[in-house]
Structure 1
Amino acid sequence: MSTQPSPLFLDAVRHHEAGNLGTAERLYRKLVEKEPRNPDAWYLAGYLFIQRRQMTRALAHLDKAVQLRPGYPEAQLNRANVLMELGRPEDAAAGYRAAAQCPQPHPEAFAGLGQALARLGRPAEAAEAFGAALRLAPSHAAANAGLANALRLLGRDAEALPHVLAYAVGAKDVQVLVDLSREAMARNLLPVAHAALQAVTGIRPADADSLALLANLSQMGSRYAEAEATARRALALKADLALAHSVLGRALFRLERTEEAASALKEACRLDPEDAEARHFLSLLTGEADASAQLKYTRDLFDGCAATFDQVLVDQLEYSAPWVLAEELKAAGVLDRPQAIVDLGCGTGLCGTILKPNASRLDGIDLAPGMVEATRKRGLYDEVIEGEITDVLNGRNAEYDLAVAADVLIYIGESSQVFAATRKALRTGGCFAFSVEIEDGSGVTGRSSGRFAHSAAYIRDLAGRFGFAVIAERAFPLRKELGHHIEGRTYVLRAI
């Protein structure tokens, strides 16, 4: 505003602020005639026309305001907003850039630029603009929502979720928060999921479904007593909630209260026969195999966590199987010449990264579509096949010199079909290298982790039955869980 506004200016502003838009418009018309060099008069008249949804007239007045004062941030910003309303995103983007270059730019300038660039189909530039808005105003709802959308378009879904959270918390959008929690849990982004569910329970403290999801999150975070307590809270509100029974059963299994666990899991399966996770854990408790549940559980477990898989395994769980297997293969002389290699349960390609220099051909097989997609993007493999290992290998006859299965049998349990299919796919003299969790007995044992452990006697029996000789084995700490190392063993078998 000018330092000494005229009485006419003050009168126009007074009527404008009072909502007397018709009177204000007449006064602004007189004002711009009498003070044609006053950018504030042109700006306020333009803003009034925005309020009256007369965008063409608004643009004409705002054009004049920025001509008179190019560094007028409010005029530049609202002019760009009008251009967006008029369906001119390219011109709007230029206007938002001009607003952003003004002294002390408003975050709305960067947020608007992001929206214009998004409409123009330029998500990478849009993400940069939304990021600039958030550096000025971290809780800006539109910028968080816009950045989330841009990141998703760029295939960076995991990065998008914290911004979905920021938007939904500010908007108190319960449905978005619930959906976000499910996606974050599937991607193993537990802090994001936890924050989303805490926000939901803060808004709706008696929401049984959200409490069940929160209990599931506690279960995933290895907080089993907390999971039990929260699941029981959910069931007190809604006794027939299948997820709460499932979480309760899995938590009790971990707490070694197996009879209670079996009862809860049976109820979960009764309420939701399609719950593969409940069926899988019940089968581990009872010893009654449920192959379809096991397969679906494994696929679902790995499908959504490809984006964080390597980081969680290596950095948090100190996972070492691929490197130990490679050491054993080198020590046995298996990698002295290039090999046609198939990576069973290839995941995101950790083994492939290590074995690629020794491969004349490198194929990967995985059950989870998310893992297959991530592996293909890595570009290490000649072929990546989505499917169940035995189904794929049964279609390959003596094609490979080496089959590798790092932490695969622990999700399969009874492994005779895998041994048979692998032997079929290997040339005579080829090798099968794999890791297992150690079982001290004589067979295969289901564990409360949802995985299986294999005894040395069981592995040697399978080797003899399906045409393999054990040429190397080694005990080692497979990974960390609950602060303790899980003992594992690698085997290298030769096809005879």
Structure 2
Amino acid sequence: MDKNQQGIQYMQEGKWEEAAKIFMEAIEENPKDAVSYINFGNVLAAVGENEKALSFFEKAIELDKSAAAAYYSAGNLYFENENLEAAKNMFEKAMQQGLNSSDNFFMLGLTLAQLEQPRLALPYFQRAVELTRDDAEAHFQYGLCLAGLELIDEAIEQFTVCLQIDEKHADAFYNLGVAYGYKEDGAKALAMFEKALEVQPDHMLAGYGKKLMEKDE
């Protein structure tokens, strides 16, 4: 097992100090290897050293312009810091360099959605759920995007799939309630708001939706 593989194993076990030490050794032994910089950056990001992590991802990109994983990891840091334009650019570059993973498509979709560009986000969410069908959050965000474009029936389908995967996703129940309310199906809307409150009793929006539905009965 080489040092990068050993370091990744340490990361999976939550042994951050050991992982950092072995990745640094890998960098010292082969300072032109972008992979070691990406791995060390991922350790730094995991322990909250975001600025330092970013410098390692930038170094990896400097060494290898096709290092898709470095663009993806940098994109995540920019997203966390709400630098959405920079995040979008990084996720797009990761895709251009061949990172066609559900995670990258999902994060690009999420970034575009937060930039209030739902039509651009939609195909990336669609691709994310095609690649990983058991990701509840991907189905949920895809549903939100569809709902924002007033594709209500399609949104209901995605929220339903989300709940089949994660039956305690309160926000999916709430948004199903909103969707059924939009379709003027008060009984179903009320039932969904009640389900959301069963899962999360302090869900304020679901509580408000329930009161509205009860008032309309």
What interval of TM-score do these two structures reach, taking the shorter chain for normalisation?
0.7 to 0.9
Residues 1:119 and 2:151 aligned together: no
Distance in 2, Cα, partners of 1:56 & 1:182: 38
Of structures 1 and 2, the one scoring higher in RCO (CA 8 A, sep 6+) is 2
Given that 2:171 and 2:196 are in contact with CA atoms closer than 8 Å, whether structure 1 keeps it comes out as yes
Residue 99 of structure 2 corresponds to 69
Is 1:97 the counterpart of 2:126? The answer is: yes
- Higher helix proportion, which one? 2
Q: Where does residue 457 of structure 1 map in the other structure?
A: none
Q: CA, structure 1 residues 104+167, in 2 after alignment: closer, same or farther (shift >3 Å)?
A: same
Alignment CA distance shift 1:174-1:26 (3 Å): closer
Query: What's the TM-score, normalizing by structure 2?
Result: 0.75
1:108 corresponds to: 137
CA deviations over 1:91-138 (Å, ceiling 9, x no partner): 111111010111344111111111111111222221122112112112
Provide the alpha-carbon RMSD of the alignment.
2.4
- Aligned twin of 2:210: 180
- Give the aligned partner of residue 179 of structure 2: 150
CA distance in 2, matches of 1:21, 1:35: 21
CA contact (8 A) 1:118 1:150 kept: yes
Tell me how far 1:144 sits from its aligned partner: 1.3
Percent identity between matched residues is 22
The residue aligned with 1:60 is 89
The answer to whether residue 91 in structure 2 is matched with residue 33 in structure 1 is no
* Alignment correspondent of 1:79: 108
- Normalising by structure 1, we get a TM-score of 0.35
- Contact residue 119 and residue 149 of structure 2 kept, 8 A: yes
> Residues of 2 paired with 1:159 and 1:140: CA distance?
17
Runs of 4+ in 1 over 4 A off after TM superposition: 174-179, 181-184
Please state which structure has a larger fraction of its residues in strand.
Answer: 1
Residue of structure 1 in register with 2:30 after alignment: none
Residue-pair matches, total: 184
Counterpart among 20, 29, 36 of residue 7 in structure 1: 36
Query: Unmatched 5+ residue regions in structure 1?
Result: 187-302, 305-496
2:159 matched residue in structure 1: 130
Q: Which amino acid aligns with 2:60?
A: L
Paired amino acid for 1:128? E
Contact kept? 1:124, 1:154, Cα under 8 Å: no
Residues 139 and 166 in structure 1, CA contact (< 8 A), matched pair in contact too: no
Correspondence for 2:74 among 31, 45, 66: 45
Q: Of 183, 188, 192, which residue of structure 2 is paired with 1:163?
A: 192
Q: Which runs of 5+ in 2 are unaligned?
A: 9-34
SS at 2:184's partner residue? coil
Paired amino acid for 1:115: L
